[in-house]
Each structure stands twice: as structure tokens, then as C-alpha cells.
Amino acid sequence: MGFRGWTAPPRASSNYSCAPLTATSGSWESVGPLPDAEFLLDPSPYLGRLQTGGHCMEKALGDPALEEPLRIPTPEEPLRDSTRKEPLRDPTVEEALGDSALEEALGHYQRSLRERASRSIHQLKCALQESDVIVGEDEFEHEESCNETGTEGSGSTWHELHHSDAVNQLKALLKQQNNKENEVSTPRRRKMTSLVKTSENENASLPAIFDLVPIINDQSQYTHHLEAEVKFCKEELSGMKERIRVVVLENEKLQEELKSRSTEQKADQICIGNSRIKPVDDLRTCQGTKSHVTSDDLEQVKSTTSDLEKWQQELERLKLIYEEKNEILESQVKTLSQDLSESQNMCEELKKKLRHQESALSASNCVGGLCLKCSQHEAVLAQTHTNSHIQTIERLTTERDELMSALVTVRKTLSEMQQMESSAYEQVKQAVLMTEEANFEKTKVLIQCEQFKTELERQKSRFEKELVIQQEKRLGEKEALRQEMKKEREELGATANESTDLKCAIIYILMKP
């Protein structure tokens, strides 16, 4: 048994940790390699009942200051570690301490690991940010000294942090990098310095952070404003769509009402009165229905003929009006086209004259030997002539533009009149179709009337024949009945006489004694 229930290992390497003493083995068990220092934030499951204040873990991490074997101190010699200030205890007393001591030891070890990891991360960041190795080493030493002074007050056991493997490896890497940089030639260093200066100038030209904050705020306000405007535009657009939909529905309703009214008017004009002829029983009823149908047909025919005459007169009047307007517009177009052709011809002639004059002026300018006064006079004359030509050209162009605008207006009016004429033609066409339909209906009704007349005459003749036949039958039956009555009367008289004779005979017989 070793110190406090632990046995000292022969020599702990830098890559393997120590496991606690178990009941079966009775010695230290070798565990796999530990992770890096910056990942040791939580206590390892292989720590067991750690009571030595992290001494074995430092030894397992390869601390060169602690690679000596654990020595069992004598009762007179105090422990070197700050956490081992209590006297030696027996194993029974140690087991009686219980879970409270274990929890305290684990918490202390966890806190020390976290402090060590945070310090190592901070030192690595500082070392990577520094460009000079010497300055970096000084800062590391200063930070280590500060950290050592800070941890001495708290009584932690990790004051030998600068001897750890991570810091040593980092220092070795930085030294290698420094040697490589020293081997590089001076022109490359100058280029690097120039690049650094240019990067610094670019960073200086960029706006500062406190200048960017109001710009970002303004941009956010502008985006909010634009979003509000877009929302308002969407709402207005939806309202406009709703109003347009309502207007379209109203227009459709009005069109349907107009169609229904027009159909009703046509039906009132065309329809003749649905007078259905019932089967006649008598001759008088047949004659009454015949006279009623013929009167309705005549009234309908008269109304349709009057409407047809009115529509034809209106059509003739519209045709005359549109023909007159068309003739007037065609005459205006002809006059305007003639004026336009004349103005174009005049423009061409004036352009030719202007070209001749310009050529003459250029030829006269080529002739030398003129005095100063003569040349000035010729220049003034040429300028006045050119000005007059320019004025005439401008006047002609304005007249041409006016004529073109007038021609455009006349064409527009002509197209409008043609549209009106086409619409009137369509209306008249519809009226003619309606009249044709009315005439067709009229002829159909007349044919039906003729058919009814023939049917009535046929039925009349048939009924008359049947009446004569029935009268003859009735007369024959009356005669037969009379003869039968006479025969019956004679038979009854004979029977009555016989009965009286019998009665008389019976009475006579009875009265005899």
C-alpha cells in the first residue's frame, strides 16, 4: 500500500495517465493517451478518488518538473504541495471521509482544469496575433507571471503552466517561423512591408464603425419606409381592383337588363296574342273564333307594315346624311392633298434655287481681286438672300405641318363618320332583319288562319251533313214509335173489350139461380 491508498508507479510517461487502484489488480492500470490540454474541461472518468490535488494528472501530462516518482513523506517532513497540509491518515479514516471529500477534490480539479484551459487559449490567441516572436515571448512571460501571481492568492496547484507541452510546442513553432523569416531576403521583406502599408492605407480609407452605424440606421429606416409604401400601394391596388370588379358587375347587370328589355320590346312588337282555338261544339262558336282571329291578324299586319315603313324612311334619311358628309370630307381631303402637293413642289423648287444660288456664291467667292467694300457688300447681299430663302422655307414647312395636321384631323373625322355610318348600317340591318322576321311571322300567321278557315268550313259541312242525317233518323224513329203506339192501343182496346165481355158473362152466371 502506498500513500493514502495509492501505489506509486515506476515512471509515468507524458502520453499515458494513471488509473486508481482496484480491488482486483492492486496496482496502477495503464489508460489510453489523454487529450490535449485545451479539451480537458471536465473531470475524466478514470480519476477515482483523487486526494493528491492533481499531482498524478500533472505527472501524466508530461510536466517535466513533476516527472520524479512520488515520494512518501515522513511524519516530520511536511508535504511540498499546498493542498497537502493535513497530516497522514489511516485507510480507515480515509474511507470514513466519504463522498464529501471526493466531491470537493473533483470540484477543485475541475476548476483548476478550466482555469488552465482558459489561460492556454488566451495565450495562444495572443501569440498568433503578435508578429514578432520576441514580443510574443515577453507577453507570454508577463501573462504567465500575472497568472502565477493571481493563482498564488487562490492557492491553486497549477503555477507551473509555462512548463506544459502546449506552450513549449508553440514556442518551438514560433522559433522555427522566426528562423525561416530571417532566411528570407530583404527585398521580400520590403515587399511585405509595402503590402502591409497598402493594407493599412486601405483600412484607413474605409469608414469607421461609428460612421457606419448612422448609415445602417438610415438604411433600415429607408427600408421600413419602402415597405410601408409597398404595403400602401398593395392596399390601394386591391381597393382599385375591387372597385373595378364592382363596376364590371354593374355593367354586366345593365347589359342584361338592356337585353331583356330589348327582347321584351321585340316580343311585344312581334308576338300576336296567343289565342288558342278550342274545339267547337256549335257552328256559332266556330264563327265567333274565326272573326276574332281575323281581326287580330289584321291589326298585327297593319302595325308591322307601319313599323317597316318607318324603319325604311329612317334608313333612307341616314343614308342621305352620311352620303353628304362623306362627300364633304372627300372634297376636303382632295383639296388638302392638292395643297400639300403644291407646297411640296414649291419646296422642291425653292431648294433647287437655293442650291443654284449657293453654287453661284461659291463660284463668285473663288474669283479674287475684289476690294474690301465690294466683298462686304456681296456678303451682306448673300446673307439677306439666304435669310429670305430660309424664311420662305420655314414658312413653307410650317404651312406643310399645318396642312398635315389638318389632314390628320380630317382623316380622324372621316374614320369617325365611317364608324358612325357602319353603326347606323348595323342598326338598319338589324331593323330590316326584325321586319323580315315580322313578315315571316305574319305570313306564318296568315297561313295558319287559312288553315283554320278551311278546317272550319270542313267541320261546318261535316256537322251539317250529320245534322241532316240525325234529323232523318229522328223522323223515322218517330214514325216507327207512332205505329207501335197505334198497335199497342188497338191491342189494349181489344183486351179491354174482351175483359168487359168476360165480366158481363161472369156476372150473368152468378146472378142466375
Which pLDDT tens digit goes with each residue over 293-303? Answer: 445 556 666 66
Tell me the three state secondary structure of residue 381: helix
Tens of pLDDT, residues 4-57: 444 444 444 444 344 444 443 443 433 344 444 433 334 444 444 434 444 444
What span, in angstroms and rounded, lies between the C-alpha atoms of 179 and 187? 17
The model's confidence at residue 82, banded by pLDDT at 50, 70 and 90, is: very low
SS3 30: strand
* In contact, 435 and 308? CB cutoff 8 Å: yes
Residues 430, 432, 434, 436, Cα dihedral to 10°: -140
Q: What is the mean pLDDT of the chain?
A: 66
For residues 300 and 445, is the Cβ–Cβ distance under 8 A?
A: yes
pLDDT for 504 beyond 50: yes
pLDDT tens digit sequence for 356-409: 777 777 665 544 444 555 655 555 555 555 567 777 888 888 888 888 888 888
Q: Which of 37-41, 119-123, 131-135, 332-336 has the lowest mean pLDDT?
A: 37-41
What pLDDT is attached to residue 403? 84
159 φ/ψ angles, rounded to the nearest 5 degrees: -85, -10
Residue 230, amino acid: V
Q: Which of 330-344, 400-414, 422-436 has the lowest mean pLDDT?
A: 330-344
**What local confidence, expressed as pLDDT, does residue 343 receive?**
75
- The confidence score (pLDDT) of residue 451 equals 92
Total-model pTM: 0.23
Interval 457-468: pLDDT, tens: 999 999 999 999
Rounded to the nearest angstrom, the gap between the alpha carbon of residue 24 and the centroid of all alpha carbons in its chain is 77
**CA separation (Å) from 190 to 103, 197, 501?**
59, 10, 187
Coil, helix or strand for 31? Answer: strand
Q: What confidence score (pLDDT) does residue 291 get?
A: 45
Over residues 240-259, the mean pLDDT reads 80
Q: Where are the domains of the chain?
A: 3-183, 309-364+376-487
Long-range contacts of 348-352 (CB under 8 A, 24+ apart): 350/389, 350/392, 350/393, 350/396, 351/393
Checking if the pLDDT of 344 tops 70, the result is yes
